[in-house]
Amino acid sequence: MITLNNINKTYTVAGTAYPALTGMSFTVEAGEIFGIIGKSGAGKSTLVRCLNGLEKITSGDVQIDGQSIVGLSDSALRQTRRSIGMIFQHFNLLSSRTAFDNIALPLELVGKNQQAIAARVNDLLRLVELEGLGGSYPHELSGGQKQRVAIARALATEPNVLLCDEATSALDPETTVSILNLLKKINQTLGITVVLITHEMDVVKQVCHRVAVLDQGRLAELGKVVDVFIRPQSDVAKRLTQASLHLELPDSIKSKLHAEKAGHPIVRLAFVGASAEVPVTTLLHDRFSVTCNILQADLQVIDGDSVGFMVCELQGTQEQSDAALAHLQAQGINVEVLAYVS
C-alpha cells in the first residue's frame, strides 16, 4: 500500500545540514496497522509527514497505492491527500467550529452539498461513538472525545490510509486504550491501512501488527510485533521492549549478576501460542534435575495473542542447565541468557 524507497530527508539551517532520515526503505501492507516507534528526535514525525507530503523528501521515492507522490503538482498532491487521513497529538480541531462542523470541514472543502454532508457526518459520529455531541465545541469536550472528533474528521473523505502522529500521547492511559480500540475497530470494519507513530511500546503492543523501530533517522529493526518483543535484535528495540515488559529485577539480585559464564544462568523465557502449554518448571525438575527459581514473570497481550515471559535462575550443574535450555528451545520457547550468578 505504502512503499518507501531509500528516502533521505535533510534539513539545511544556515548552511549546516541536519540529516533527519537516512536510507529509509520499507513497505506497509494494505489493511494492516503499522507502528513506527523511536525515541524523541528519532525522526518518526518527519517520516509520517513524508507520507502525505507535509514534509518534502530530499531524495528517494514514496509510493502510495502504486503512485509516486514525489514531484506531484500541487493540485494532484491535494487530491492524493484527500485519500489520506491524519490525526495529531494535539487534535488540531478548529475551536471556532462545533464537533459536527469540524467533521464536515473536509467535505465542505470538496464542495459537497449540505444534505450529503449531514448524512455522512452523522454516520461518522455514530462510528466514533459521539452521537449527540455534534453540537458541542472542542473546549467543551474531553481529550478522548476531541480525538474521536479528529478521527471522524480524518475519515470523512473515505480515505484508505490513516496516519496517526502520536495520537494518544496527550491522553491518560484509560482513554488511550479506548482510542486504540476504536482504531482497531476502524481497521477491522473498514479495512483502512493505519500507520501509527508513537514513542510508547505499550501502544504498539496493543494494536499494531508490525512495527518499524527508528533510531536517529535510520531503520533499526522491522518485524511483527510479537517477534520484536520476544527476539529484539537492535539495542534500541531491546531497550524499548524492556521498558514495556515488567521484568525488571530487584537491585539485590542485580548486584550479584555478572557476564562471566560461571555459576547459575539467569534466563529469560518467552512463550507464545502452543509453547505456552509446556509445563516448564516440572519439566526442568523431573527431566533435567534443574530447579527453576522464578525471579520475575509477566503475561502480555501482544496483537491479540497472549505472550508469557519468565525470568528465572536455573539451579543445577552447567551440563544439566545447558541440556535443559536446549530442550526448551526445541519446544518453541524463546530462550535468552541474561547473565550469571554465583
Partner 1 sequence: MSHSLALMPLLVATWQTLYMVFIASVLGIVGGLVLGVVLYNTQTGGLWAHRAWHQVLGFITNVGRSVPFIILMIAILPFTRFVVGTSIGINAAIVPLVIAAIPYFARIVESALGEVPFGIREAALAMGATQWQIITKFLLPEALPALIRGSTLLIVGLIGYSAMAGAVGGGGLGELAINYGYERFDALVMLETVVILVLIVQWVQTYGDRLAKRPRLKRLAIVAIIFALLCVVSQAWPKGEQAHTIRVGIMGGAEENIMQVAKRVAWDRYHVHLQLITFDDYVLPNTALNNGNLDANIFQHVPYLDTQIKARHYKLVPIAKTFIYPLGFYSKKYTSLSALPEGAVVAIPNDPSNEGRALLLLQQSGLIKMKPGVGLLGTPASVILNPYHLHFVAMNAAQIPRALKDVAMGALTNDFVGPAGYTVNQALLKEGSHSPYANVIVVRAQDQHKPIFKALIAAMHSKPVLEKTQALFPDGAAIAAWY
The identity of residue 5, as a single letter, is N
Question: How near is the Cβ of 50 to partner 1 at its closest, in Å?
Answer: 13
Pick the closer one to partner 1 by CB: 92 or 169: 92
Question: How near is the Cβ of 264 to partner 1 at its closest, in Å?
Answer: 54
Q: Where are the alpha helices (DSSP H) in the chain?
A: 44-51, 74-81, 99-109, 114-127, 143-155, 173-190, 201-207, 225-230, 235-244, 251-254, 280-288, 318-330
**Region from 5-13, 76-84, 170-178, 236-244 binding partner 1, contact rule CB under 8 A:** 76-84
- All three cell numbers of 36: 513506527
Residue with cell 510508547: 200
Question: How near is the Cβ of 180 to partner 1 at its closest, in Å?
Answer: 21
Q: Side by side, which strands form the sheet with 16-28? A: 16-28, 2-13, 59-64, 67-68
Question: How near is the Cβ of 342 to partner 1 at its closest, in Å?
Answer: 56
Question: How near is the Cβ of 151 to partner 1 at its closest, in Å?
Answer: 13
Pick the closer one to partner 1 by CB: 92 or 160: 92
Residue 131's nearest CA partner among 106, 152, 109 is 152
Q: Where are the alpha helices (DSSP H) in 110-191?
A: 114-127, 143-155, 173-190
Pick the closer one to partner 1 by CB: 90 or 185: 90
Question: How near is the Cβ of 136 to partner 1 at its closest, in Å?
Answer: 15
- All three cell numbers of 2: 505504502
Measured distance CA(183)–CA(148) in Å, rounded: 10
**Region from 77-85, 204-212, 246-254, 325-333 binding partner 1, contact rule CB under 8 A:** 77-85
Pick the closer one to partner 1 by CB: 117 or 201: 117
Taking CA atoms, 308 is separated from 226, 231, 245, 249, 266, in Å, by 11, 13, 10, 17, 17
Residue 6 falls in which region: left (phi positive, over 0), alpha (psi -120 to 50) or beta: left
90 binds partner 1 (CB under 8 A): yes
Strand partners, 62: 4
Measured distance CA(227)–CA(89) in Å, rounded: 28
Please identify which residue in 96, 113, 252, 342 interacts with partner 1, judged by CB under 8 A. 96
94 binds partner 1 (CB under 8 A): yes
95 binds partner 1 (CB under 8 A): yes
- All three cell numbers of 124: 461518522
Residue with cell 549546516: 16
Map the footprint of partner 1 across residues 149-178, applying CB under 8 A: 153, 157, 163
* Cβ within 8 Å of residue 276, ≥6 positions away: 306, 308
Pick the closer one to partner 1 by CB: 40 or 96: 96
**Region from 85-93, 123-131, 251-259, 264-272 binding partner 1, contact rule CB under 8 A:** 85-93
Pick the closer one to partner 1 by CB: 80 or 281: 80
Strand 291-302 to 33-37 pairing: unpaired
**Region from 64-72, 108-116, 132-140, 186-194 binding partner 1, contact rule CB under 8 A:** 108-116
Count residues binding partner 1 (CB under 8 A). Answer: 26
92 binds partner 1 (CB under 8 A): yes
Q: Please give the span between the terminal C-alpha atoms of the chain, in angstroms, as a whole number.
A: 53
108 binds partner 1 (CB under 8 A): yes
Question: How near is the Cβ of 6 to partner 1 at its closest, in Å?
Answer: 25
84 binds partner 1 (CB under 8 A): yes
Pick the closer one to partner 1 by CB: 82 or 184: 82
81 binds partner 1 (CB under 8 A): yes
Interaction site with partner 1 (CB under 8 A): 52, 54, 77-82, 84-86, 88, 90, 92, 94-97, 105-106, 108-110, 153, 157, 163
